[in-house]
Amino acid sequence: METLLEILKELHPEVDFENCDTLIDDNVLDSFDIITIIAEISSEYDVNIPAEEIVPENFNSAKALYALIKRLSDE
């Protein structure tokens, strides 16, 4: 989780990622951010997030994103 928060912070230092749960709905993250995050996750966690998982529910909060990473690495 710490690594993930670091990735996010680096992208948007001004956002409170611990508590925000409308990252997509409020347009905090745009499609370019999402791609960058996925690339980072791929190298940091060795988890490839497939396109079908790019839905608001998975990207609206850091928590949800972390849950997604866990789920994908468990499978």
Give the binding site for another protein (CB under 8 A): 27, 30-32, 34-36, 38-39, 42-43, 48-52, 54, 75
Tell me the closest approach of the beta carbon of residue 68 to another protein, in angstroms.
13
Task: Measure the CA–CA gap between 19 and 48, rounded to whole angstroms.
Answer: 25
Between 19 and 25, whose beta carbon lies closer to another protein?
Answer: 25
* Of the candidates 22, 26, 32, the residue with the CA atom closest to the CA atom of residue 59: 22
Between 19 and 51, whose beta carbon lies closer to another protein?
Answer: 51
Torsion of CA 19, 31, 33, 53, to 10 degrees: 70
Tell me the closest approach of the beta carbon of residue 21 to another protein, in angstroms.
21
